[in-house]
Amino acid sequence: MIEWIIRRSVANRFLVMMAALFLSIWGTWTIIHTPVDALPDLSDVQVIVKTRYPGQAPQIVENQVTWPLTTTMLSVPGAKTVRGFSQFGDSYVYVIFEDGTDPYWARSRVLEYLNQVQGKLPAGVSAEMGPDATGVGWVFEYALVDRSGKHDLAELRSLQDWFLKYELKTIPNVSEVASVGGVVKEYQIVVDPMKLTQYGISLGEVKSALDASNQEAGGSSVELAEAEYMVRASGYLQTLDDFKNIVLKTGDNGVPVYLGDVARVQIGPEMRRGIAELNGEGEVAGGVVILRSGKNAREVISAVKEKLASLQSSLPEGVEVVTTYDRSQLIDRAIDNLSYKLLEEFIVVALVCALFLWHVRSALVAIISLPLGLCFAFIMMHFQGLNANIMSLGGIAIAVGAMVDAAIVMIENAHKRLEEWEHQHPGEKLSNYTRWKIITEASVEVGPALFISLLIITLSFIPIFTLEGQEGKLFGPLAFTKTWSMAGAALLAIVAIPILMGFWIRGRIPAESSNPLNRFLIRIYHPLLLKVLHWPKTTLLIALLSILTVAWPLNRVGGEFLPQINEGDLLYMPSTLPGISAAQAADMLQKTDKLIMTVPEVARVFGKNRQGRNRHRLGAAGDGGDHHSAQAAGSMATGDDHGEDRRGAG
């Protein structure tokens, strides 16, 4: 079968070369468009359900919201774990699915069950799903800083909520932009209980009057003077006076009682349970950009930075957008470093091929198989949905050396057969037909054995595919890319390599003995081989003892799940006693950030503790992913480019 493939490939070499060209073009396209990240996504497939029940104690939230949601979600198809968290005014339910579940299928199933349980929730309470992102979807964070001092936190938060947030959400593959910090403005009505009693008005009547006064109504249309006019009643409340002039009731004497008679109406900050703080200098507002599941993190981050740069001119004078976290820096460092190592490996392999083959065009045959095999691996990664990270690229790095083995053996065999023909036909010129025939026979001679050997190497990583959970997610990309690279090399060895040899192995072929490196190695190896064959038992005993000597140090070697990656950022997360106020937490956060900034290598510190509404924390999956209490705070310290030696001590 293998012999037939080799002969048919050589006979149809034009079609094979066109296929190789198509493979290289397609592979180049996939390399350019493959999503890039630092590490594989180890998070579970999860859907987060957040429900607000304002003003209610955790026990009430648990009984009336979290319990109905969690018990309903237990029967969602594919769900393996359901976790519920209840706190003051908020409920969070995490539905964890089996590995391999399509995230959008999971979201649709959760949405179906949400519709079923909606009737069991208290009136006015509705559950919402978090964005379609994974647990590592937080890729970029920024803060709005007012250098001029002309804008307060409420204005900064309004800029974030009503301008930047919606502009950034237009970027492709941005799942959500969560707001952090600042102050959300609201109309506040402070009712005087004594005056309510005096006028005989209840709180329910006040609420009903507010609802009835903040509406618009349509009145159809009228025709007047050959024109049609639409009739509508505009009743939205817009100013404080509009609130104060709401009529609550009319007294027996016909005098109306206004809202301003029984309450104080003001604009104030919404109740919050946390802040965002920068460099220990004071509070700021900001946002967190959440990446859609499975998309290109570096591409999205680049688009976000371009968008923010273009929006800078639209911000008020003195307001500046400061980047507080940027994962693309880690991605670029990790991928660039590994890409550089891959390039070094390619160069070393090319030099070794050239030195041992001692024929430049023959060496090119082996070298050209590397990018073709790489293209094949990336095409398969594209179909599998794998991204380029240090693990998947590491699999390619492992396979590079073995990918050229078959080509080198085939070239060596072709050299010998051509050399034999020259000895058998001295002075006779080698015709093109004869050269193709010799190279074909040389390929057929060793091709089947080489294909089987490469296939064995290809299948050597099969045990890694049996890993499950986080281990499988971490090492699976490495095993897949290594397997696809070797599979591509095996296929190229019997299809493309014989044709490349026919085109490029021309002219005078140097004899093996003419290579000085070969002569040197043979001079050392030949006598050593004779001695080893003369004392076989002693040789095997020495080999066995060498293996046994590894056992003791192998048992003493430590192990860890992930290698240390120096991202350049440190996360400081202190825990306080329960019940700490937001003001006290803010004071503690600012003091710790100021202390961290005293470390010379720290360029920036962005701290935040849990916010009262749709706030985002480190590692949360989206806008509704924060179930941490107010006593949990965190500061992200970003090191400068010259502080690598002391970052661990910061």
Please state the three-class secondary structure of 209-265 as a single string.
HHHHHCEEEEEEEEEECCEEEEEEEEECCCCHHHHHCCEEEECCCCCEEEHHHHEEE
Could you report the per-residue pLDDT of 254-285, keeping only the tens digit for each? Answer: 888 888 888 999 988 887 766 888 888 888 88
Question: pLDDT band at 239, cuts 50/70/90?
Answer: confident
Summarize the confidence of residues 618-622 as an average pLDDT.
Answer: 30
Residue 495 within a domain = no
Beta bridge partners of 229: 222
The CA distances from residue 126 to 52, 66, 123, 626, in Å, are 7, 12, 8, 17
Residue 614 has pLDDT above 70, yes or no: no
Looking at residue 95, what is its pLDDT? 93
Domains contained in the chain, number:
2
CB atoms within 10 A of CB 46: 23
The CA distances from residue 538 to 24, 272, 524, 533, in Å, are 51, 79, 20, 10
Q: Which of the two residues, 503 and 624, has the higher pLDDT score?
A: 503
Residue 155 has pLDDT above 80, yes or no: yes
Q: What CATH number is given to the structural domain containing 248?
A: 3.30.2090.10
Residue 48 within a domain = yes
- Residue 62 · residue 33 · CB < 8 Å: no
Q: Which of 24-38, 509-523, 608-622 is predicted with the least confidence, judged by mean pLDDT? A: 608-622
Q: Which of 256-265, 304-313, 545-554 is predicted with the least confidence, judged by mean pLDDT? A: 545-554
Q: Which of 375-384, 407-416, 421-430 is predicted with the least confidence, judged by mean pLDDT? A: 421-430
Summarize the confidence of residues 600-629 as an average pLDDT.
Answer: 53
Residue 26 has pLDDT above 90, yes or no: yes
Question: pLDDT band at 634, cuts 50/70/90?
Answer: low
Q: Are residues 118 and 55 in the same domain?
A: yes
Q: Are residues 191 and 123 in the same domain?
A: no
Question: pLDDT band at 563, cuts 50/70/90?
Answer: low
- Residue 292 · residue 132 · CB < 8 Å: yes
Looking at residue 638, what is its pLDDT? 67
pTM above 0.85, yes or no: no
CA distance 306 to 298: 12
What's the whole-number average pLDDT of the chain?
83
Q: What CATH number is given to the structural domain containing 72?
A: 3.30.70.1430
Summarize the confidence of residues 329-342 as an average pLDDT.
Answer: 81
Summarize the confidence of residues 334-344 as an average pLDDT.
Answer: 80
The CA distances from residue 567 to 32, 463, 616, 641, in Å, are 24, 31, 21, 11
Residue 576 within a domain = no
Looking at residue 636, what is its pLDDT? 67
Q: Which of the two residues, 627 and 85, has the higher pLDDT score?
A: 85
Q: Are residues 124 and 196 in the same domain?
A: no
Residue 581 has pLDDT above 80, yes or no: no
Looking at residue 615, what is its pLDDT? 33
Summarize the confidence of residues 129-151 as an average pLDDT.
Answer: 86
CA distance 101 to 469: 13
Q: Are residues 112 and 190 in the same domain?
A: no
Would you tell me the crossing angle of helices 360-384 and 13-33 to the nearest 10 degrees? 50
Asked which of 226, 252, 269 is the last residue of a domain, the reply is 269
Residue 78 within a domain = yes
Residue 337 within a domain = no
Residue 115 within a domain = yes
Residue 529 within a domain = no
Which pair of structure tokens corresponds to residue 182? 């600042």
Q: Who's near 29: CB < 8 A, 6+ residues apart?
A: none
Residue 645 within a domain = no
- Residue 27 · residue 376 · CB < 8 Å: yes
Q: Are residues 49 and 125 in the same domain?
A: yes
Looking at residue 633, what is its pLDDT? 56
CA distance 80 to 59: 25
- Residue 583 · residue 273 · CB < 8 Å: no
CA distance 13 to 19: 10
Owning domain of residue 199: 186-216+234-269
